[in-house]
Amino acid sequence: MLINISPGDLEAFFAVAESGSFSRGAAALGLSQPAVSARIRHLEEVLGVTLFHRTSRRVAISDSGERLRVRLERTMGELRGLLKEFDDEAGLRKGRVRIGASPSIAASFLPNAVAKFKKRWPAIEIALLDDFYGRDLERLSQGAVDFAVIPFDRTTEQFHFEMLLKDSFIPIVPNGHKLALRKGVSLADIVREPLVTMPPESAAWGTLKRVFAAAGLEFHPSIQTQSALSVVAMVRAGLGVGFVTRLVSARIVTTGVTPLTLTDCKIERSVGIVRVQGRELPNAARMFCKTLREVAPSYSKIGRKHRASD
C-alpha cells in the first residue's frame, strides 16, 4: 500500500496540518491549492481514511490525521537524526574505527598512528582488538573490525592486502651463550638448540615453520608463549633460542640477550592493511588507513638501521 505514497504527498500533508489551511499550505510549498488538494485526496484514498475535516470556513485535522502526523514527526525526527549522524561521520566529527592487529603491530607503529589520527580527528573513537593473526582474520570476515593491520603475504579472493612495510626476524640467545660468540650462525646451528616461540595461531609460527621447512629442518619449539616479552624473558632465563621481529625489538627491553646474524637466509614478512574484498571502508577508517601510510615509512627505516648495524 505505501508504495503508492510519494514524498510530495507527505510534504503536502505536513504543510496543511501545520498551517490549518489548504491555501496557506500551498503557498508554503510554492504550489497551487488544487495541486495540494489533489495530493491530500490521493493520500486519503491510499490510506483509506479521512485526514482532514473540511468546511467552508476552516480545515481541521482528523483523529486519523493526528495519528499520522505524530507518527510521521517521530519518524522524520529519527530520520533527521540519522542523516545528521551520517553527515557527522562523513565530516569526521563523529564515528568509530575498529581495527584488528597482531600483538607485535599493536606494540610497534600502531600507537603512533593512533596518536597522529586522534590529533587530527579527536572526536573519532578508536577500538583496537589486538590478537593473533587467525583471530584477526576471523573478526575481519565477520565484520567485527573494519580492517586489520597484520603480517600477510598477498591479496586473495577473500582479502585485499596493501603492504606498508617489510619486517624481519632476529634470532636471540642469552648473553654468554656459545652462539653469541660467533659472527654468524645458520638455521642448522639454531635448530640444535631448544626453541622458544609464539604459539601456532600466531603469524610468527607460520613464518618460521615455512622457513625451517624450506631449509629441510624440523620445527619443534620446546616452549610456546603468548607474547614477545615472554619470549625475551624465557631466552634471558637460558631456556633456549628465540625469535623476535625488528619492529618489536626496537620497542621492548632486550637486555640480557644477544641478537644473532643469520648467514644462510633472511626471515622476512610483509606487514600491511588487510580488508575484505568488495567491502567499502567507512570514511573514518579510510582516513586512518591514510594515516598508517604516512607513519609506516619511518618504521621501515628502523629495520634498515638494524640491518646496517648487523
pLDDT tens-place values along the chain, 310 residues long: 446 888 888 889 989 998 888 999 999 999 999 999 999 999 999 888 999 998 777 889 999 999 998 988 888 888 877 777 777 666 667 788 999 999 889 988 999 999 999 999 998 999 999 998 889 999 999 999 999 999 998 888 999 999 999 999 999 999 999 999 999 999 999 999 999 999 998 999 999 999 999 999 999 999 999 888 899 999 999 999 999 999 888 777 778 999 999 999 999 999 999 999 999 998 899 999 999 999 998 887 544 443 333 3
Of 50, 145, 66, whose CA–CA distance to 106 is shortest?
145
Q: Could you tell me what percentage of the chain is helix, strand and coil, using 3-state DSSP and rounding each to the nearest 5?
A: 50, 20, 30
Q: What is the rounded distance in angstroms from the CA atom of residue 186 to the CA atom of residue 189?
A: 5
- H or E stretch at 297: helix 283-309
Q: What is the rounded distance in angstroms from the CA atom of residue 3 to the CA atom of residue 14?
A: 19
CA-angle at 174, arms to 256 and 298, nearest 5°: 60
Q: What is the rounded distance in angstroms from the CA atom of residue 240 to the CA atom of residue 53?
A: 90
Q: What contacts 305, CB < 8 A, 6 or more positions away?
A: none
Q: What is the pLDDT of residue 224?
A: 96
Q: What is the pLDDT of residue 89?
A: 64
Q: 101 near 110, Cβ under 8 Å?
A: yes
C-alpha distances out from residue 3 to 218, 271, 275, Å = 68, 50, 37
Q: What is the pLDDT of residue 304?
A: 43
Extract the C-alpha cell encoding 15: 504543510
Q: 197 near 243, Cβ under 8 Å?
A: yes
Q: What is the pLDDT of residue 110?
A: 94
Q: What is the pLDDT of residue 244?
A: 93
Q: What is the pLDDT of residue 222?
A: 95
pTM over the 0.75 mark: no
Report all structural domains of the chain as residue ranges with CATH numbers, in order of start: 2-79 (1.10.10.10), 96-164+270-302 (3.40.190.10), 167-268 (3.40.190.10)
C-alpha distances out from residue 23 to 7, 27, 122, 146, 208, Å = 19, 6, 49, 52, 80
